[in-house]
A and B are shown apart, each in its own frame.
Chain A
């Protein structure tokens, strides 16, 4: 037996199998999309899937829209490398759904039609409010899109095992990255343009099934490996991580205690609170999530779909805990960090290890790795399709139909514009993602949540609950929240990576030192992946803008509303009665 072939064999067959499985997923979803397109005639079909989905279907689709690669690969990776801290993300992402359930879902379903702006502009002057809401929808969606697409680009090399210097089907790792970004981009455009909301929803449902099944299988195998003894699993993970009991406690990654530096510890801890705030308040302001409430016939169904989503998403995040600690225990943090410093390959590597152990040696390992890799691509695809749909709907329904045409346009016309907009936004996202492919963009998802919480949530809540809210309040709130979130990021260590009293110097790898143009033992750099400069000090030491920008968003909205005399008692009565009773709902 030739040992080289044995070693190379599974890797190659896993690669082929991943591609075959992914192609099968794409073929099935494209077939569904074409089928859905035959049933997409009216604007309601295109924007809201004909409002025909059941609450369970929509609950699954919400899960499919929400559980991104960041939550599947990202959280499992953070747990595998930094232990407990990854769990903080899961909890924020889940608890956030209570804001959506209690304060937003039903009221929005009752009073809106196709977009987030329908509710915001309900009792306001249409054009300024819709313009603001549309801009914020597009910014949040594009940020999120870039994070997902760049993520897909870096995953392809890792999941298909293309090492630097190697080629795959004649492509270098770098070319494969670009090709993946373009392919994912084209597919998401096709889903949205052809299938509209109906097609996109089915893609998300299929993806949610695959993701849940894949995660469930791996979780069960992890439990089998530890004979269902959670304490043993945790103990083993802590031991293999080399960090001991601290691995199971908060503080390895966020809110660090930096010995002998009170200022730096304080900044790190406030940054953790800032992240927590953005996670819990961001979800109910994400446009691609909000429009999912319109795909069901009634507010009751919208409420039930959120309850389903909470069950599905909660179960999934509980499983990521097993996956992350399982990867730390069975693969080992060192081996994971060797593959990808950010830990994104923890779940696929765990799949391979589990497959080898329980599903028949190296072939089983290759099969399970391939399945999980295909699930990861399906995951990304479903999320980017949802984002593209949300932003193109807003361009067509808010900007085109209501701002430019002032409501004087036909349904057909509007849907046609939505399809063009999906092309345009998809193309922009592809280009931006190609340019950003070398950057560390993982922070963009957290920033998108912070913007959603700062710009959209204050306007949504005040619109629904505050009688004296008005046009100026909504526009100031949206622009103020959006502007302050962006400004804080621009002044943060994400952009300026210099070490300072509140941000201690990082240990640099030779590659990082070379990129930053400093000697390897330099003490000038705190964040080597800073966007503009590694050595210039950031004016604001927080990487998460939420703690500053969310209160500012609420403040701008409140001051704007209080300084304008505009009130429309009748429209508020209509909004309140309709949102609470469901009378006259679309």
Chain B
């Protein structure tokens, strides 16, 4: 059978996910995750939009020489690379140090209760 119904949904599995979802611990994980990814997504999109808009509308500014034949447009473009690498590195660090411990603990709770041993619910919430 290759149905895509996940194994843990049957019976009270669904309500177990609801319990976890409404727990403070999960709310903490969600907050920690969103606190990083939403602001950074907004930041890099605005930073990228600024670059594209300046490329389209601020030709004189972008064409100014900084040193030798290297102009603002080139520096600005290279800075997009720098910020992309930087955000990727920051997120990797944040996820490893901050998110993973929270995820491990919650995952253990869900899988410990659910999954194969479906007989009883020993630890309600």
Partner of B88, one of A257, A310, A401, A407: A310
* B98 within 8 Å of A (CB atoms): no
B62 touches A249 (CB 8 A): yes
Q: Provided the pairs A570-B18, A573-B14 are in contact, do residues A121 and B69 lie with their beta carbons within 8 angstroms?
A: no
A409 touches B2 (CB 8 A): yes
B3 touches A407 (CB 8 A): yes
Docked complex Cα distance between A215 and B41 (Å) = 31
* B56 within 8 Å of A (CB atoms): yes
Docked complex Cα distance between A411 and B80 (Å) = 45
User: Closest residue to B72 on the A side, CB-wise?
Assistant: A249
Partner of A574, one of B3, B6, B63: B6
Partner of B40, one of A102, A246, A310: A102
Q: Provided the pairs A577-B20, A581-B106 are in contact, do residues A402 and B55 lie with their beta carbons within 8 angstroms?
A: no
A234 touches B29 (CB 8 A): no
* A269 within 8 Å of B (CB atoms): yes
Partner of A248, one of B1, B4, B69: B69
Cβ–Cβ < 8 Å partners of A318 in chain B: 78, 81
Cβ–Cβ < 8 Å partners of A231 in chain B: 67-70
User: Closest residue to B26 on the A side, CB-wise?
Assistant: A577
Partner of A95, one of B22, B68, B73, B80: B80
Docked complex Cα distance between A91 and B50 (Å) = 13
Q: Mark A541-584, 1 if CB is under 8 A from B, else 0.
A: 00000000000000000000000000001110110111011111
Q: What is the total number of residues of chain B having a CB less than 8 Å from a CB of chain A?
A: 67
* A118 within 8 Å of B (CB atoms): yes
A583 touches B14 (CB 8 A): no
Cβ–Cβ < 8 Å partners of A103 in chain B: 37, 41
Closest CB in chain B relative to A283 CB, distance in Å: 12
Q: Mark B56-100, 1 if CB is under 8 A from A, else 0.
A: 110100110101111101100110110011011101100110001
Docked complex Cα distance between A266 and B36 (Å) = 36
Docked complex Cα distance between A38 and B15 (Å) = 42
Q: What is the total number of residues of chain A having a CB less than 8 Å from a CB of chain B?
A: 73
Q: Provided the pairs A95-B48, A101-B88, A113-B4 are in contact, do residues A249 and B59 lie with their beta carbons within 8 angstroms?
A: yes
User: Closest residue to B57 on the A side, CB-wise?
Assistant: A269
* A303 within 8 Å of B (CB atoms): yes
Q: Which of A272-280, A422-430, A434-442, A485-493 contacts B (4 or more CB under 8 A)?
A: A272-280
B62 touches A411 (CB 8 A): no
Docked complex Cα distance between A314 and B71 (Å) = 21
User: Closest residue to A87 on the B side, CB-wise?
Assistant: B77
Partner of A310, one of B29, B30, B85: B85
Partner of A84, one of B4, B74, B95: B74
Q: Provided the pairs A91-B51, A250-B59 are in contact, do residues A307 and B111 lie with their beta carbons within 8 angstroms?
A: no
Docked complex Cα distance between A238 and B63 (Å) = 13
Interface residues in B1-37 (C-beta closer than 8 Å to A): 1-9, 13-15, 17-18, 20-22, 26, 29-30, 33, 36-37
A303 touches B56 (CB 8 A): no
User: Closest residue to A574 on the B side, CB-wise?
Assistant: B17
Partner of A234, one of B15, B68, B88: B68
* A337 within 8 Å of B (CB atoms): no
Docked complex Cα distance between A581 and B65 (Å) = 49
B45 touches A250 (CB 8 A): no
* A410 within 8 Å of B (CB atoms): yes
Partner of A91, one of B15, B33, B77, B114: B77
B68 touches A570 (CB 8 A): no
Docked complex Cα distance between A12 and B106 (Å) = 64
A residues adjacent to B (C-beta < 8 A): 43, 84, 87-88, 90-92, 94-95, 97-99, 101-103, 106, 113, 118, 121, 126, 229-232, 234-235, 238, 245-246, 248-251, 254-255, 257, 269, 272-273, 276, 280, 300, 303-304, 306-307, 310-311, 314, 317-318, 397, 401-402, 407-411, 414, 569-571, 573-574, 576-578, 580-584
Known: A246-B63, A307-B88, A407-B1. 5 other contacts (CB 8 A): A101-B91, A102-B37, A276-B48, A300-B95, A407-B2
27 contacts between A and B (CB under 8 A): A88-B77, A91-B48, A95-B80, A98-B44, A102-B40, A103-B41, A126-B4, A245-B69, A248-B71, A249-B71, A250-B62, A273-B53, A303-B92, A306-B88, A307-B88, A317-B81, A409-B2, A410-B2, A573-B18, A574-B17, A577-B26, A580-B26, A581-B26, A582-B103, A583-B110, A584-B110, A584-B111
